[in-house]
Amino acid sequence: MDPNDGTVVNFQNVVKKFRAGKRTVVAINNLTVRVPVGKVTGLIGPDGAGKTTAMRLAAGLFMPDAGTAHVLGMDTSRDARAVQASVG
């Protein structure tokens, strides 16, 4: 991904799962979204829809189980600390 492409957040086919005892809970399934620079963007949905998980993925606090997550041109899986230092 080109860090100067005008995209703040770019998720491609992102999947995030959690273990709850013996169950696997899919919090995010195949999310693709691009948030352009300079646009006010909202994230809405009911409880349990994956909003907090998506924000934690964007902040580099969670790693996707599949797909790619780029924030400010950085891959959150490879550059998690740099992403964390760059977002608030």
CATH of the domain at 76: 3.40.50.300
Which three-class secondary structure state does DSSP give residue 16?
Answer: strand
The Cα–Cα gap between 27 and 51 comes to 9
Q: Which pair of structure tokens corresponds to residue 41?
A: 């963007």
Work out how many domains the chain is built from and give that number: 1
| 26 part of a folded domain | yes
CA distances from 83 to 45, 46, 47 (A): 25, 27, 26
Residue ranges of alpha helices (H) inside 3-79 are 51-58
| 2 part of a folded domain | no
Say which residues have a Cβ less than 8 Å from residue 4's Cβ, sequence separation at least 6: 73
* Segments of the chain with pLDDT less than 50: 1
Q: Which residue is listed with tokens 């909202």?
A: 42
Task: Give the per-residue pLDDT at 4.
Answer: 55
pTM exceeding the 0.85 threshold for the entire prediction: yes
